[in-house]
Amino acid sequence: MIIEKLAWRNIWRNRRRTFITLSSIFFAVILSSLMMSIKEGMYSLMIQSAVGSYSGYLQINTSDFTSDGTLDNGFVFTQAMSDDLNGIKSQIKAIPRIENFALSAYGDKTRGTLVLGTDIIAEKELTQIDERIISGSCLSRNDKGVLLGKGLAEYLNIAVADTIVLLGQGYHGTSAAGKFAVKGIVSLGSPELSKQLVVMDLGNAQQLYSAPGVITQLNIWPSEDAGLQTSKTLLAGIVGNEMDIRTWKEVMPEIDKMIQADRVEGYVFMFILYLVISFGIFGTLLMMLVERAYEFGMLLSIGMKRMSLAFMVWLEALFLSLAGAMIGIAGAIPVCYYFNQNPIRFGDEFNEMFEEYGFEPIMKASMDLGIFFEQALIIAALSSILALYPVLKIFTMNILSSRQS
């Protein structure tokens, strides 16, 4: 206990040195936390834009649909399957959908589109599609109108209450053609999806493609308590082995690979950042060692063991590291919260680059508390490791030389 008390009192003997050391750790934690928070926030936005606001975190379809994606390989969504899903609705939420391609036309312009027939009520609950309406109104169940993505509407130069023509191939080779009133324009998280999406009621889409009762997929949103693997196991018991149950990473592997590649790049930058931080902390420790060389020499001269002195110095560095890390967390949280509530929007020159990957040009910080504690622990551990240098110097210190200094 004596060594611990001495270490704590020594910290406050030279307040200037203590303040410099705490400041270096404080800003190091803020800087590293902000960098990781922004990166994780951007990953969350990517996943939310492509997964949470559209495709769902799990997807059920036939094996044949997985391989070729054609309407002919859809399946009948039976009442028994619907009842089974309702039985576990506290753990998962599902949207039955039918997806197919069609040629859209308005005036003298045409464009290939992705027609999405969906349960509008479930869509409002899970993807909040009604909150994304920027013009007009949302659909209701059994509605005969359609919603258009903002990008598609701008390309066709079409407005609410205008009529769009859809031409395509229906179920098992039938022809699909129809005129639909545009009821609303929707702004989606994915700019690429916004350029091609036409949304209609599920029954309306099944009628268009001559596919009564047929869907191409079930899109699943697990509850917060049920993870992907737990939900996958529950669904396997309902749909059986003849259906494919895929996670969003399997449905959209390019997004997962992009995030993993960017994480590796982030680790390289973080290593460089930690290196710079280490030099700053190491400089303050060297300053402490030089300033206290005479003190250490005197303590050894009067009989203090080198092991006890070294342990006392290491404890001082540990106390400073932990204190700096905790203060750093307190400083990092409001900084990251600001960028969480006020995300950075990139200029027009970055729009095309982000849209190429299908994401909005926004940089938003994450508020995952694990990020702050992880960075604080890393910085505190670095400080403790760097403190081994003055500890080693104590074991090799020449008492007479230190007294002369």
| CB < 8 Å & 24+ apart, contacts of 105-111 | 105/156, 105/164, 105/165, 105/166, 105/167, 106/156, 106/157, 106/158, 106/162, 106/163, 106/164, 106/165, 107/156, 107/157, 107/158, 109/155, 109/156, 109/157, 111/152, 111/155, 111/156, 111/195, 111/196
The one-letter code for the residue type at 307 is M
pLDDT at 160 over 90: yes
pLDDT classification of 311: cutoffs 50, 70, 90: confident
Distance, CA of 196 to CA of 225 (rounded, Å): 34
The predicted structure's pLDDT at residue 353:
59
Whether the predicted pLDDT of 255 surpasses 70: yes
pTM over the 0.85 mark? no
Using the CB atoms, write b or e for 315-329: b if 16+ within 10 Å. Answer: bbbebbbbbbbbbbb
Q: In this predicted structure, what is the pLDDT of residue 153?
A: 94
Over range 372-398, report the average pLDDT: 81
How does strand 214-215 pair with strand 75-76?
Answer: antiparallel
Q: Report the percent of the chain where pLDDT is more than 90.
A: 23
Residue 393's pLDDT band (cuts 50, 70, 90) = confident
What pLDDT was estimated at residue 356? 54
Closest CA to 42 of 372, 340, 363, 368: 363
If you average pLDDT over every residue of the chain, what do you get? Answer: 83
- Average pLDDT for residues 218-246, to the nearest whole number? 80
Summarised one tens digit per residue, pLDDT across range 266-284 is 788 888 878 877 887 787 7
Higher pLDDT pick, 18 / 206: 206
Q: What is the pLDDT of residue 347?
A: 62
pLDDT at 49 over 80: no
Q: In the predicted model, is pLDDT for residue 310 greater than 70?
A: yes
Most confident of 17-21, 30-34, 209-213: 209-213
Selection from 249, 256, 250, 221 nearest residue 235 by Cα: 221
**Which pLDDT band, with edges at 50, 70 and 90, does 401 fall under?**
low
Least confident of 82-91, 249-258, 355-364, 387-396: 355-364
* pLDDT mean over 36-65: 82
Rounded distance between C-alpha atoms, residue 261 and residue 247, angstroms: 19
The residue that leads in pLDDT, 14 or 143, is 143
Q: How high is the pLDDT of residue 176?
A: 92
Instruction: Specify the pairing of strand 146-149 against strand 175-186.
Output: parallel
27 alpha carbon, distance to own chain's centre: 24
- Determine the Cα–Cα distance for residues 111 and 47; give it in Å rounded to an integer: 27
On the question of pLDDT at 357 being above 60, the answer is: no
Residue 198 pLDDT greater than 90, yes or no: yes
CB 376 within 8 A of CB 328: yes
pLDDT band at 389 (very low <50, low <70, confident <90, very high): confident
Q: What percent of the chain has pLDDT over 70?
A: 93
Q: 184 pLDDT exceeds 90?
A: yes
Could you tell me where the beta strands, DSSP code E, fall in 233-340?
243-247
